[in-house]
Amino acid sequence: MLDKAKTLTHGAYDAAAASALKILVIHTRWNVEIVSALRDGVLATLTNQYAIPRSNIDVVEVPGAFELPFATKALLKQGKYDAVIPIGVLIKGATVHFEYISESATHALMNVGLESGTPVIFGILTCLTEEQALQRAGIGSGAEKGHNHGIDWAAAAVEMALLNQGKARKH
Amino acid sequence: MLDKAKTLTHGAYDAAAASALKILVIHTRWNVEIVSALRDGVLATLTNQYAIPRSNIDVVEVPGAFELPFATKALLKQGKYDAVIPIGVLIKGATVHFEYISESATHALMNVGLESGTPVIFGILTCLTEEQALQRAGIGSGAEKGHNHGIDWAAAAVEMALLNQGKARKH
Amino acid sequence: MLDKAKTLTHGAYDAAAASALKILVIHTRWNVEIVSALRDGVLATLTNQYAIPRSNIDVVEVPGAFELPFATKALLKQGKYDAVIPIGVLIKGATVHFEYISESATHALMNVGLESGTPVIFGILTCLTEEQALQRAGIGSGAEKGHNHGIDWAAAAVEMALLNQGKARKH
Amino acid sequence: MLDKAKTLTHGAYDAAAASALKILVIHTRWNVEIVSALRDGVLATLTNQYAIPRSNIDVVEVPGAFELPFATKALLKQGKYDAVIPIGVLIKGATVHFEYISESATHALMNVGLESGTPVIFGILTCLTEEQALQRAGIGSGAEKGHNHGIDWAAAAVEMALLNQGKARKH
Amino acid sequence: MLDKAKTLTHGAYDAAAASALKILVIHTRWNVEIVSALRDGVLATLTNQYAIPRSNIDVVEVPGAFELPFATKALLKQGKYDAVIPIGVLIKGATVHFEYISESATHALMNVGLESGTPVIFGILTCLTEEQALQRAGIGSGAEKGHNHGIDWAAAAVEMALLNQGKARKH
């Protein structure tokens, strides 16, 4: 599914504007090994690829994915961030809890972004197995190590924040 | 699914602020044995773990899960609570009533939280069997006794209320 | 699924306030035998169990379940009712009409209640067979006669109207 | 599924008020044979059954079902219509385009009706086969000719428009 | 599924008004070969079929389909465009990411159109296989080359923009 070379090559962009962005990362604590890898992928990309100082990035924890939209909206009220990357990992279980949380959190993150006017990236993995989640965090087993989606989410946050500042290139 | 050690260890927090929180618990009457266990798990955690006086906690009943969002919104208008924990137990039946109630209640609780500015925890079990619900209330049979999710909901309510007061730790 | 003894035993309540409530019942005309039984269950419960005068209750018809939310919102504008009980019966057919009407009507009734500030009860049966609907209207065949859900809806309307007036008991 | 005798017998109504109604019909162009039959069923019913002059009825085309809610809202801004009947035919295809269009159009038509305060009828057939759609337009093959749902939609539009004018009979 | 002769023959229209329209095209970068074909189909139709100068059309890129609604809303704030054509290609993968992105993006594009008052076309392919997507971009293999849906989206954008300017023909 993932095309590693893709999202990072979003063409020329204003590197100075990118490095001045203020980013909020909110992550859950469920499936901590996977979430941590995703968060680290986000942070490494923001700081290395886009030269955003670590001090421009706030990292906040919430219990689970249902809390991500509320935390995003509440913390955006401070008027401080150019983009938010909510990170969570949902894995199908025996009940249908997974389905209702996935659906409501996805809709709500979309709506919080639209209503706040600040880009909110979709950093939730909705997986049927733990192995799927591990692979999408770049920590799958053996040859199926996978690609860390946090890298893409960081790139998307930068691109959308610049677009939101009127810096999108128009062809 | 549940990682008992997890939600309770949300790191250092402002214990004095936590113990001063005012919490609203709203629960349904369907599947009363299960709902009661969940409610008791919530109350024990709020009072024992976080030292919130019982007098800071209001407990209100509604008929079923469809009523939880309305009651949450109506009672939040009093401006008195720092977080709400709506508790309900939905179990798949012969019709698709379960699916429509689960979906609409989940979305509505999310939206009431977002619009009110007060954290609303997702305390509804959406289970395919009664045994699944019993286990998630810590009263399953034998070795499958399970973990009382009320404990997690209480911890989530405290954490989100503090976050909403600007007390989230930023890394 | 139904626990007959449950919803009617919502504990002590303000009987005088209950009997003064003004209730709007809106029902569809599809599956008229079933809808009529549900409506009669609602009316009998409101007048007998809660001593609400029949003159305090308005009954209005609409074509189908998709019309219930609009009629509820339109008639609530008169500022006259303390609760609404929309009644409809949806039965799975050969197309997926059932699914889209069920889902959109459920969401919309929830939202009309939340936005109007008046409790709107979920009085729609979403059944896979006609027999399921007959049983949930208390008119199933033989020993499977079933429980008339209209009884529960009436009780829920009274309970939620009183809660909305600030009369919910807090523990 | 359809009970032909039903929707047309919505009891006594204000015939003079009905014949003065202004109705907007919006239809898609996909599956044109079926859509045309439905539109004709709507028009014949409005003019013959309810004596609404053809000059009181506007008919507008849009490309597909996704465009129906936007057109409904845009044309309602003229403040000219008492009800809208959006007509479309969606048939399950090889992809899941059908599901996403059906769901979003249904929700959106519901919401446009609720927010505009003008009744919007659900005139979309969501069918798994073309034959199902033909039957619901009254043009199925042989004995399965079916009932033209446009007849019901026209009756529903009249009934809801009168209800919205405060002319619903209350029992 | 596609009836090539259909959408292009939306009857007589104001050609001068059409050629003066300002259109925003936003496309994702996932599945770039398919997206590019769709974008080119859109551009060729707008410029050749409707004589819209290329300088009246802006083309902007976003990472993925979840970003389309935000970008649409953000760029519409400039008050410059008469219609938006968001283009994306979603293909079912091993997880249920596809389902949640498809559903939330569809709803959100609908709502951004309704709330902005500017037509937003649904230019997302939601396919179960890559071959389905290739065919709907007119680049399927061999005899199954398919029809480029971008052609229809361009026509729909023109038609809806004119409708939104009060230029829809009423019958």
Residue B131 three-state SS: helix
The dihedral of CA B66, B69, B71, B72: what is its sign?
Answer: positive
For residue D7, pLDDT over 50 is answered with: no
Q: What band does C9 get if pLDDT is binned at 50, 70 and 90?
A: low
* Touching, A vs D (3+ Cβ pairs under 8 A): no
> Running DSSP on this structure, what letter comes out for residue C120?
B
For chain A, 171 residues long, the average pLDDT of each consecutive 10-residue run is: 44 93 97 97 98 98 98 97 98 97 98 98 98 96 92 98 94 85
Provide, as residue numbers in chain A, all residues whose Cβ is less than 8 Å from the Cβ of E69: 110, 114
Q: How far apart are CA A42 and CA A84, in angstroms?
A: 11
What is residue C99's three-state secondary structure?
A: helix
Contact C165, C17 (CB under 8 A): yes
Residues listed for chain A:
171
Mutate: best of E104, E107, E111, E129, partner A, most A CBs <10 A: E104
Q: Which of residues 132-161 of B touch A (CB under 8 A)?
A: 132, 136, 152, 155-156, 159-160
Q: In what helix (H) or strand (E) does residue C22 lie, and over which residues does it extend?
A: none
Find the CB nearest C60 among D3, D113, D170: D170
Backbone torsions φ then ψ of C98, nearest 5 degrees: -50, -50
Surface-to-core class of residue D121, CB atoms within 10 Å of its CB (0-12 exposed, 13-18 middle, 19+ buried): buried
Q: Residues B85, B46: contact at Cβ < 8 Å?
A: no
Complex-level ipTM beyond the 0.90 threshold: yes
Domain ranges of chain B: 15-164
Distance CA A81, CA A52 (A): 13
- Residues of chain A with C-beta less than 8 angstroms from the C-beta of B117: 74
The 3-class secondary structure across chain D, one letter per residue, is CCCHHHHHCCCCCCHHHHHCCCEEEEECCCCHHHHHHHHHHHHHHHHHHCCCCHHHEEEEECCCHHHHHHHHHHHHCCCCCCEEEEEEEEECCCCCHHHHHHHHHHHHHHHHHHHHCCCECCEEEEECCHHHHHHHECCCCHHHCCCEHHHHHHHHHHHHHHHHCCCCCCC
Pairwise CA distance, residues A145 & A41, whole Å: 14
Q: Which CATH architecture is the domain C15-164 placed in?
A: 3-Layer(aba) Sandwich (3.40)
Q: Classify domain D11-164 at the CATH topology level.
A: Rossmann fold (3.40.50)
Identify the band that residue B6 occupies on the pLDDT scale cut at 50, 70 and 90: very low
Rounded (5°) CA angle D127-D131-D137: 75
Provide, as residue numbers in chain C, all residues whose Cβ is less than 8 Å from the Cβ of D111: 108
* Burial classification of residue E139, based on how many CB atoms lie within 10 Å of its CB (0-12 exposed, 13-18 middle, 19 or more buried): middle
d(C-alpha A55, C-alpha A46), whole Å: 11
Beta carbons of C32 and D110 less than 8 Å apart: no
Best of A96, A98, A107, A112 to disrupt the B interface by mutation (most B CBs within 10 Å)?
A96
**Superfamily of the domain at E16-164:** Lumazine/riboflavin synthase (3.40.50.960)
Identify all chain C residues contacting D159, using CB atoms and an 8 Å cutoff: 62-63
Q: Which of B27, B97, B107, B171 is catalytic?
A: B97
Rounded to the nearest angstrom, the minimum Cα separation between D156 and chain E is 22
Is D108 in Cβ contact with E114 (below 8 Å)?
yes
DSSP H or E run through A161: helix A149-164
d(CA D26, CA A111): 29
Any catalytic annotation for residue B97?
Answer: yes
CA distances from D8 to C30, C63, D122, D153 (A): 12, 9, 17, 10
Mean pLDDT of C13-28: 97
Distances, alpha carbon B165 to alpha carbons B52, B73, B160, in Å: 16, 19, 9
Instruction: Tell me which residues of chain B, numbers 38 to 97, contact chain A at a CB-CB cutoff of 8 Å.
Output: 92
Give the model's pLDDT for residue B100: 98
d(C-alpha A4, C-alpha A148), whole Å: 9
Q: Is A60's CB within 8 Å of B7's CB?
A: no
Instruction: Output the DSSP codes for chain E.
Output: ---HHHHH------HHHHHT--EEEEE--TTHHHHHHHHHHHHHIIIIIS---GGGEEEEE-SSGGGHHHHHHHHHTTS--SEEEEEEEEE--SSSHHHHHHHHHHHHHHHHHHHHTS-B--EEEEESSHHHHHHHBT--SGGG---BHHHHHHHHHHHHHHHHTT-----
| Per-residue pLDDT, E10 | 64
Report the candidate in B46, B40, B36 with the shortest Cα–Cα distance to residue B8: B46
Distance CA(C76)–CA(C124), nearest Å, equals 19
Q: How many residues does chain E have?
A: 171
CA distance D170 to chain E (A): 34
Confidence of residue D12 (pLDDT cuts 50, 70, 90): confident
Q: What confidence tens digit (pLDDT) does each residue in C47-96 have?
A: 999 999 999 999 999 999 999 999 999 999 999 999 999 999 999 999 99
**Predicted confidence band at D142 (pLDDT cuts at 50, 70, 90)?**
confident
Closest partner CB to B160 (pick from A62, A95, A104): A62
Q: Which residue of D has its CA nearest to E119?
A: D70
Per-residue confidence (pLDDT) for residue E7, from 0 to 100: 44
Give the model's pLDDT for residue B141: 87
Q: How far apart are CA B54 and CA B51, in angstroms?
A: 9
Question: pLDDT, tens digit, for every residue of E60-79?
Answer: 999 999 999 999 999 999 99
Mean pLDDT by 10 residues, chain E (171 residues): 44 93 97 97 98 98 98 97 98 97 98 98 98 96 92 98 94 85
At residue B149, the pLDDT reads 98
pLDDT value of residue E143: 85
* Residue C33 touches chain D, beta carbons under 8 Å: no
Give, to the nearest 10 degrees, the angle between helix B68-76 and helix C149-164: 10
- pLDDT cut 90: percent of chain D above it: 88
CA distance D126 to D104: 12
Alpha helices in chain B (DSSP H): 4-7, 15-19, 32-44, 68-76, 97-116, 130-136, 149-164
Q: Is B15 within 8 Å of B162 (Cβ atoms)? A: no
d(CA E163, CA D61): 9
Calpha distance E27→A11 (Å, rounded): 14
A43 to chain E, closest Cα gap in Å? 18
Contacts of E103 in chain A (CB under 8 A): 103, 106-107
Distances (CA, A) of C152 to B164, C46, C136, C149: 37, 10, 11, 5
Interface residue A101 vs chain B (CB under 8 A): yes
